[in-house]
Amino acid sequence: MYINSVLEENKNNNILIWLLLITLLVALMIIIGGLTRLTDSGLSITKWDLFTGIFPPLTLESWNKTFSLYKQIPEYYLENSNMTLKEFKVIFWWEYIHRLLGRIIGLLYIFPLIYFTIKKKLKKNTLISLYSILFLICFQGFIGWYMVKSGLTEKTDVSHYRLSLHLTLAFIIFILLQWNYLKYKYEDSFILYFKLPNYIPIFFLLTVLIQISLGALVSGLDGGQIYQTWPLMNSSYYPDDSDINNFFSLNSFESPSIVQFVHRNIAYFIFFLYLFILFKIFKNKELLYLRNTALIIFVFLLLQIFLGIITVLSGAQIVLASLHQIGSIFLVATTLILVFKNSKIN
C-alpha cells in the first residue's frame, strides 16, 4: 500500500504546465509524423532550411520553384509524374506542419528551460535530465533530416530503418518528458511499502517500445498493405511468400511479410505478458493501488490490438493506421504511469 500526502505548497505550477505542454506537443508531433508518412508526404520538402524554412511558399512563383525541386527526386518521376501543383500542395502542407511543429517544440522547450535554470527553479538532477532531453530534441531534428535524405537520391521512400529510429526516438523523448512531469508533480507524495519487482513493468514498457519500432518498419516497407487477413497470413501462420530460412537471414527485416509476421507475434507476446502482470497485481491485495491503472492499460491494450487487426484487414487504411499509432501513445503513457506508481519516490 502507499500513503498519499499533501504536495509541496511552493511547487512551481509554471514548470508543471510547461512540462505537460511539451509532452502533449510531442504526442501531437508523433501523430502528425505518422500522417505525414501515411500520406507519403515526407519527401515533399527536399531542403532543410532551418530558419528560412519557417515560411511556406506564398506566391505562385515560389510554389512552382518548390514543386520543381520535388520533380527532381525519384519519388516524383517514378511514382508521381502525373501529380499537379494542387496535389503537391497537399503533401507539402503535411510535411511543412510536421517541420514547423518541430521548431515550435524546440523553441517552447529551450527558452523556458533557460529561464528556469537562471532563476534556479529546478534541482540539479532535474536539470541534468531536462538538458539531456534538449540534446535528444536537437538530435531528433538531425535524425529527421537524415531520414528524409535517404529518399532523395535513389529510393522512392525513406529508409525504413531510419524511419523506425526517428519514431523510436520520438517516443523516448515523450517518455522522458512524461516521467519528469510525473516526478516533479508527485515528488515525495507517496511511499511504497510493497510493489512489483521494478523490472516487470519496465520490461513491459520496453517490449511495447520495441513493438512500436517494429511498427515503423512495417510502415516504412508498406508491410501493412499485404496479407490483409487475420489470424492467418492468407492460409498459413507463417507468410507463404517467404521461406522459413529467410527468417534467420540478416536481410529478414528487408522483407515486408517477415516484418509484419514479427510485428504480429510480438503483439501476442505483449498480450500474454500483460495478462501475467494483471494476474500478479490482482492476486496480491497489497498491490491494490495499481489495479485501476492496470485495468486502464488493459483497455488500451485491447483497443490497440483491435485497431491493429482492422488496420491489417483494411490494407493500412490511413484513418485506421493513424488511430493505431495514436493508440500506442495512450498505451505508452498509461504504462509509464504504472511504472511510476510502482517506483519508490525519494
**CB-CB contact of 26 with 329 (8 Å):** no
Predicted pLDDT of residue 344: 64
Question: Residue 206: pLDDT above 60?
Answer: yes
Pair 329, 207 in one domain:
yes
Pair 184, 198 in one domain:
no
Pair 71, 110 in one domain:
yes
Pair 177, 263 in one domain:
no
Instruction: Please give the average per-residue pLDDT across 160-184, as a whole number.
Output: 96
Pair 247, 258 in one domain:
yes
pLDDT tens digit string along 74-124? 998 888 889 999 999 999 999 999 999 999 999 999 999 999 999 988 889
Pair 178, 219 in one domain:
no
Pair 169, 76 in one domain:
yes
Distance (Å, rounded) from C-alpha 29 to C-alpha 45? 17
Question: Residue 52: pLDDT above 80?
Answer: no
Question: Residue 222: pLDDT above 60?
Answer: yes
Counting residues of the chain whose pLDDT is more than 70, the rounded percentage is 94
**CB-CB contact of 99 with 53 (8 Å):** yes
Pair 20, 60 in one domain:
yes
**Mean pLDDT over each residue of the chain, to the nearest integer:** 90
- Please say which residue of 156, 191, 226 terminates a domain: 191
Instruction: Please give the average per-residue pLDDT across 45-50, as a whole number.
Output: 82
- Is 259 in a helix, a strand, or coil? helix
Residue 83's domain comprises: 1-191
Pair 255, 313 in one domain:
yes
State the total domains in the chain. Answer: 2
**CB-CB contact of 119 with 155 (8 Å):** no
Question: Residue 190: pLDDT above 60?
Answer: no
Predicted pLDDT of residue 171: 98
C-alpha cell at 62: 515560389
Phi/psi of residue 233, each to 5°? -100, 95
Predicted pLDDT of residue 191: 58
pLDDT tens digit string along 124-157? 989 999 999 999 999 999 999 999 988 888 777 8
- Please say which residue of 141, 170, 191 terminates a domain: 191
- Please say which residue of 191, 223, 240 terminates a domain: 191
Position with higher pLDDT, 344 vs 136: 136
Question: Vertex 180, ends 174 and 185: CA angle to 5°?
Answer: 125
Distance (Å, rounded) from C-alpha 268 to C-alpha 201? 17
Predicted pLDDT of residue 188: 62
Question: Residue 53: pLDDT above 90?
Answer: no
Predicted pLDDT of residue 32: 96
Instruction: Please give the average per-residue pLDDT across 233-250, as a whole number.
Output: 88
Question: Residue 73: pLDDT above 80?
Answer: yes
Pair 307, 227 in one domain:
yes
Question: Residue 280: pLDDT above 50?
Answer: yes
Pair 130, 93 in one domain:
yes
Pair 290, 317 in one domain:
yes
Instruction: Please give the average per-residue pLDDT across 328-339, as a whole number.
Output: 96
